[in-house]
Structure 1
Amino acid sequence: MSPHSSNDGGFAKAAGAPAPQTIVTDAEGLDAALVTLPGGAPAYVARPGEGDTYPIVLIAQEIFGLHEHIRDIARRFAKLGYLAIAPDYIIGYGDPRTAPDIDAIRAIVVRVPDAETMTIFDEALAFAATKGGDPSRAAVTGFCWGGRIAWLYAAHNPRLRACIPWYGRLDGARTKAQSRWPIDIATALKVPTLALYGGADPSIPLELVEAMRTRLKEAHAPAEFIVYDGAPHAFFADYRESYREEAAKDAWARALAFLRARGAG
């Protein structure tokens, strides 16, 4: 890894022009770079420029791909002392950043096998461990489609300290590539999980959130939901009109406290 501060990611075309409130986190004092994992997937990595051991946070990108918003989140974590790594688990099936619209992006994402995604995150965790990351203090977080992936990876890797899915879909069509959804793994979840959701998200109705809560509770799974009344899908996405500052700041603070409390900070 070598330090860099340029924005070589850009924002996804289908996400529209960045909103005025877009947060920009520089790479000053960080070691940040785009790397290639052993299986060929690219990953954006950011860590403090000083020190030799860091907690690890795996970041699962939105449906829009490994674009600038996700890279910025990685730098935010790195500024707080984490080794943050965001593997691009979608790019092998198309680049959402250059897709013309959301339908074109969905056509890419629906082809991505979950089993392959789990392997890519395993590789990302192993890579982080070779760069000073402490795998005994590792967590996963994810946004939008990546929120779904965060749930699934927590079930896949019960050794994680924490899981923080942000408005990830809980249920959907089952296909050969994507045969399970978070609601299917609720009874097997062992990783402490903080789920951050919007109360006004039509893609994830509150009835489904309650169904997920019930399954988790019945299984005595270590998970809790925070639902922000009136907040839409992607309320943390500061580069979009969906951003809700109050909910986003509260959720970020809760996420960081959760990581620390679970030994991943």
Structure 2
Amino acid sequence: MKIEPEFDSLVPAQSFDRRSFIVTSLGAGFAVATQSALAQTAIKTDDAGLVAGEVKVPAKDGDMVTYRAVPAGATKPSVVLVVSEIFGAHEYIRDVCRRLAKLGYCAIAPELFARQGDPRQIASIPEIQAKITSKTPDAQVLADLDACVAWAAGKGADTSRLAITGFCWGGRIAWLYAAHNPGVKAGVAWYGRLVGAASEITPRQPIELAGQLKAPVLGLYGGLDAGIPLETIDAMEKALKQGSAAAQASEIHVYDNAPHAFHADYRPSYRKEEAEDGWKKMLAWFRKNGV
């Protein structure tokens, strides 16, 4: 039995509202703010044997452009939600999806900033933060991820084996989603912030939700990450020990000599040894938790 033919085609537009969604196509390449010589030597995963490309996922207020990669002819593959850094679903995130698809997963990376703007076209990181991420509500993001899960289920994927992973901004979201969706089996958060000020956009932080985790999360962090102090990681570990069963089953691994974004193979922060080890740990975490 093969996966439904619909998996090989785009989802027809349904109540698409161009006023709500500014970004309607993912384009190509890396985010402008991250362009460097290293982008030319980044890991490149082909799509041979895969069904990979843009789809439109019906969300609450229109269709959300999303990248998905899945093995061609797959039968009920497990699902991994891939949540981007502040740069959106650019080439690095799409490549991560293809890497996961080569291993048998249906990997889905929505453009979660599609209503706020296109961070891939903004050259300054502070400008991305001011114009895009600071205006993207957690509640909107969680609902959009729910929409991706519903879409995958409708296309024949096995959402009873659901995982989430995210990088930087997306690492924080991975923690939040593991506390939000009881259907998640495993989460892996790559250097996502754990603490922060409460606001209407970000009302609660991972450390506040540790006790409510519905799935065990593996946190992968860099000991030299200037933006995520080790004391916040220590505090999170203490919160996990006092939390739910899933929280107590969670783990955090710190790579002592790694900076922030050590998995980002297209940036100067990339650390090959730590990135490869983290990837192995992520896959083992998925397997351990039935994904």
Shared fold, TM over 0.5: yes
- 1:94 is paired with a residue whose SS is coil
Q: 2:195 aligns with which of 171, 185, 199?
A: 171
Q: CA deviation at 1:100?
A: 1.9
Alignment-mate amino acid for residue 163 of structure 1: G
Pairwise CA distance, 1:132: 2.3
Q: Deviations over 1:22-58 (max 9, x none)?
A: 1000111100121111122211010001222100000
**TM-score, normalised via structure 1 length:** 0.95
Superposed, which structure 2 residues align to 1:119-130 within 5 Å? 119-130=143-154
Hey, what does 2:74 align to over in structure 1? 51
Change (3 A) 1:18 1:42: farther
User: Which residue number corresponds to residue 188 of structure 1?
Assistant: 212
In the TM superposition, what is the alpha-carbon distance from 1:21 to its structure 2 partner? 3.5
Paired with 1:9 and 1:197, the residues of 2 have a C-alpha distance of 29
Q: Find the aligned partners of 1:165 and 1:9 in 2 and give their Cα distance.
A: 25
Equivalent pair of 1:2/1:33 in contact (CA under 8 Å): no
**RMSD across aligned positions (CA):** 1.5
Pick aligned residue for 2:137 from 96, 103, 113: 113
Q: Which of 6, 28, 47 in structure 2 is aligned with 1:9?
A: 28
Query: Match for residue 227 of structure 1?
Result: 254
Distance 2:151 2:274 in 1: 33
Q: What SS does structure 2 have at the residue aligned with 1:38?
A: strand
Equivalent position SS for 2:135? coil
Instruction: Report how far residue 18 of structure 1 moved.
Output: 4.9
Are 2:63 and 1:63 aligned?
Answer: no
Correspondences of 1:17-166 after superposition (within 5 Å): 17-19=36-38, 20-39=40-59, 40-107=63-130, 108-166=132-190
Q: Secondary structure at the match of 1:74?
A: helix
Deviation per CA, 1:213-264, whole angstroms, max 9, x where unpaired?
A: 0111122522100100110000000000100000000000010011011110
Q: SS state of the match for residue 161, structure 1? A: strand
1:172 CA drift (Å): 1.5
Question: Is contact 1:236-1:243 (8 Å) kept?
Answer: yes
Unaligned stretches of 5+ in structure 2? 1-6, 10-25
* Per-residue deviation, 1:8: 4.1
TM-score by length of 2: 0.87
Taking the aligned partners of 1:114 and 1:35, their CA distance within structure 2 comes to 23
2:273 to 228, 238, 246: 246
Paired with 1:24 and 1:115, the residues of 2 have a C-alpha distance of 33
How far residue 145 of structure 1 moved from its aligned partner, in angstroms, is 0.1
Shift of 1:158: 2.2
| Paired amino acid for 2:157 | G
Q: Residue 68 of structure 2 aligns to a residue in which SS?
A: strand
Give the deviation of 1:162 after TM superposition. Answer: 0.1
Equivalent residues of 2:51, 2:71 under 8 A apart: yes
CA distance in 1, matches of 2:206, 2:272: 27
Runs of 4+ residues deviating >4 angstroms:
none
Higher gyration radius (CA): 2
Identity %: 50
CA distance in 1, matches of 2:191, 2:229: 11
Q: Whole-Å Cα distance in 2 between the matches of residues 100 and 246 of structure 1?
A: 29
* Letter of the 1:56 counterpart: V
Code of the aligned partner of 1:236:
H
For 1:94 and 1:21, the matched residues in 2 are separated by: 28
Cα distance in 1 for partners of 2:214, 2:174 equals 13
Q: Which residue in the other structure is 2:21 paired with?
A: none
